[in-house]
Every structure is written in structure tokens, then in C-alpha cells.
Amino acid sequence: MNIFITKNIPEAGLLLLQEKGFNLTVNPTENVLSREEFIKICQENDALLNVGSSNLDEAFFEQCPNLKGIALFSVGYDSVHIPSANSRKIPVGNTPEVLNRATSDTAFLLMQSVARKSFYNHKRIINGEWGTFNALANLGQELYGKTLGIFGLGRIGFEMAQKCKAAFGMNIIYHNRSHNENAEKELDAQYVDFETLLAQSDVLSVHSNYTEENNELFNKETFAKMKPNAIFINTARGKFHNEDDLYYALTNDIIWGAGLDVTNPEPMKQDNPLLSLPNCCVLPHIGSATYEARNGMAVCAAQNIIALSENRKMPFCVNEEVYS
């Protein structure tokens, strides 16, 4: 089988693929392909192992009729137009579970960083602004006993809630399409409607899969319904929030702070005004960037490709309907 790997992945996955004797084309990380170049290589391959954010839309599928399967190097699959894959019976695999810890750790890290204005204070030192002790300056907030609201309580959201409960005894509320019985039992999490999530969360953390219906769900109107002490955390997808509205909310005391691992667009521009705010911490989409998670992702992606080559169901398939 001929496989195109869009960017280098950890050896743990590459070795599994090499052992199977596949013909691998690995695009060197530095080499950013144009859409035309990308499609041309996909046309010459049986399977795609996609690392990063290529837009696998209807036009892509139309132009790559020989493609038999796609293994994503991500848990999110918003880069793929699933109906287009389904209509051609192309299985799409992702990398669930293995990045739950790393991504929820990142959400937790951002929450604490915002609560204690840590990025801003780091910048103050660099700028020679440490100054003398000031009992009234740079005060943060403690999170003990506060309410964590999770938007999309799946596997990553569960781990974030677990950490917040263990560390700070936080109360957990959540809004999902369906109830998460495990979280209700294990974490005493309470299902609430979206309006209540906005109104009651001291920290609101987004962990949902992105879909177009949730595009910029967090905007001027919804930020206005949040508490003035609220911290907004997004480690899911940048398209969940409107960046101008977030800036407005942060600079007009509508909400207290924000921590983002995802932005829209990515990369965020160097002169984005959010980067200069004392109450905003931004990371460059490093949620899953640990050795452990990335090795796990490489193995999952390789297992999906291997299953495809053996005419088996991908073990981590997001569109199982293609097998029916």
C-alpha cells in the first residue's frame, strides 16, 4: 500500500508502518505543500496519514478517487467533511484517549496561569518591571470551591473536571448533547442547560468536538451572560470563540480572564492585541504536545492504517457507518 504522511510523526508509529512493508512518502516538516501539490500526492497514494490542518473537503475527495482511507493524527476530525468520506465509503480514523491527559493538563495549566496572571508577570520581569513589593498589585484569584463549567464533557473534559475537583474541590457543572452518567456518578457533575452554564461557571472550559453549528458560540452575547470573575478556557478549537468579542469582554470587565491553546486563525498573528493583555494567556496549540501523547497518537494512526490495509475496521474510526 502507498501511504502519504503529511508531516513527520514519532518513530513509534513509523516503525509499525515500516514493519508492514508499506511504501511510505513522508513530507518533511519544513516543506509546506500548496493545495495543488498536496492533492497531487494524495492522488498517487492509497491512504493518507494527515498531520495538521489540511482541509479535506468535498473538492478534495472528488479529486482523489483512489484514496481508500484517512488516518488523522488528531482526535478532532473537523478538518474532514465526513459526508463526503461517507458517500465514497472512505473510513476516517482519529487518535482518541491517548491525548486526554496532555490536553486536560493544558486546560488546567491555562486555568491556573490565568488565575494568577503568570504569563503577564513573566513578561513584566523580561521588561524590567518587577519593581518593589506591592500588596495591591497583580492579584490573582483562588479557585477553591468554585464552579467549573465544562462545555462538552467527553473524555478530555472528564479529566479536566477530575483534576479541578481533586486540586480545588471545584463543583462541576456541564453542558453536553447527552448526559455523562459516569461524570455524574464519579464527580458529582451536574447537567445544566447552556444558559446556566454561562451564568454559573467561575471557570468555563471548552472540550467539545467542533461543528459548524457551534461556530463562534462564545461571542459578545454569550460572554455578556458570564460572571465578571469568570475565566474562559479553550483548548478545543479556535472557531468556538469570536476573538474580537473576547478582546472586548476582557478589556471591559465583562469576564475576568481567558486562556487559549487554540486560536482562529492559527498561527495567531504576533501583533494580536490579545497577546498584550494581562488577563489573557495564549499557547500555540500544544495541547497534545507531550512525548507520551504524541507517541500514542502515532501508534493509533498507524493501527488505523494497518487495519485499512488488512480490510479490517479501523480501531479508531469516526465514521463507522462506512462499514455497514
User: Using CB under 6 A, which of 1, 67, 71, 75 touches ligand DGY?
Assistant: 75
Least gap, CB of 78 to ligand DGY (angstroms):
8
Q: In this structure, what C-alpha cell is assigned to residue 190? A: 451536574
Catalytic residues: 237, 266, 285
Considering the rule CB under 6 A, would residue 74 count as an interface residue with ligand DGY? yes
> Of 27, 26, 23, which Cα lies nearest the Cα of 2?
23
> Of 317, 262, 316, 270, which Cα lies nearest the Cα of 289?
262
**How many whole angstroms separate alpha carbon 233 and alpha carbon 312?**
39
Considering the rule CB under 6 A, would residue 96 count as an interface residue with ligand DGY? no
Least gap, CB of 100 to ligand DGY (angstroms):
10
Q: In this structure, what C-alpha cell is assigned to residue 2? A: 502507498
Judged by beta carbon, residue 93 or residue 287, the one nearer ligand DGY is: 287
Least gap, CB of 81 to ligand DGY (angstroms):
16
Least gap, CB of 75 to ligand DGY (angstroms):
4
Judged by beta carbon, residue 79 or residue 86, the one nearer ligand DGY is: 79
CB 151 within 8 A of CB 205: yes
Burial (CB < 10 A; 0-12, 13-18, 19+), residue 97, is middle
Q: In this structure, what C-alpha cell is assigned to residue 138? A: 497583580
Considering the rule CB under 6 A, would residue 45 count as an interface residue with ligand DGY? no
Considering the rule CB under 6 A, would residue 288 count as an interface residue with ligand DGY? yes
Judged by beta carbon, residue 156 or residue 198, the one nearer ligand DGY is: 156
**How many whole angstroms separate alpha carbon 234 and alpha carbon 219?**
13
Binding segment toward ligand DGY, per CB under 6 A, in 3-11, 73-81, 153-161, 162-170: 73-81
Considering the rule CB under 6 A, would residue 287 count as an interface residue with ligand DGY? yes
The residue sitting closest to ligand DGY, measured at its beta carbon, is: 76
Residue 122: phi and psi, rounded to 5, are -60, -45
Binding segment toward ligand DGY, per CB under 6 A, in 38-46, 72-80, 104-112, 118-126: 72-80
User: C-alpha dihedral over 125, 129, 131, 137, to 10 degrees?
Assistant: -90
What one-letter code names the amino acid at 8? N
Least gap, CB of 237 to ligand DGY (angstroms):
7
Residues that bind ligand DGY (CB under 6 A): 74-76, 99, 287-288
